[in-house]
Amino acid sequence: MTIQVGDRVPSATFIKATENGPEPVSSDEFFAGRKVALFSVPGAFTPTCSARHLPGYVEKADELKAKGVDEIACTAVNDAFVMGAWGKSAEADNVTMLSDGNGAFAKAVGLDFDGSKFGMGTRGQRYSMLVNDGVVEQLHVEAPGEFKVSSAEHLIENL
């Protein structure tokens, strides 16, 4: 079942690329005690994700923070090295890149999909959510092939 507004974010482990190598990040700890704007993309370096989705959050980071967001994070079913390289290439220093390499978080929130016909395997859907102290306050899931409601601009309008 898909996660809903009011639900607690499930326990899962992301991996973050750091200067010291891959580092596990517990979702319980990551979301605890703060407001996080999390957005998911089907894949790092893919066209819409690279041209519009990630850049929008990079450009709007100050506006999100001015509206009470403590951290902005991007997740995708890619390994930590790819997520780290994508963040660097996009100059996304103000966005935490969280690898969901095995799709465990995408599956746990019920927002995974089968991208096999595109050679991508299981991936996470395109969405954004606002998580406050581990509880989902907003959830914006895109229709297949769309990019509207998961944008930074849409999240800002709803804060």
Q: What is the pLDDT of residue 118?
A: 85
Examine residue 2 and state whether it is found in any structural domain, yes or no: no
Q: Is 49 a catalytic residue?
A: yes
Residue with tokens 């704007």, as numbered in its chain: 37
Examine residue 7 and state whether it is found in any structural domain, yes or no: no
What's the number of domains the chain is made of?
1
- Domain of 80? 13-157
Q: In CATH, what number is assigned to the domain containing residue 68?
A: 3.40.30.10
Catalytic residue among 49, 83, 109, 136: 49
Q: What is the pLDDT of residue 130?
A: 98
Tens of pLDDT along 13-42? 999 999 899 999 999 999 999 999 999 999
Strand blocks (E) in the chain: 13-18, 21-26, 35-40, 71-76, 96-99, 112-114, 122-124, 127-132, 135-141
CA distance 152 to 137: 15
CA distance 42 to 117: 14
Nearest alpha-carbon partner for 147 in 128, 121, 132: 128
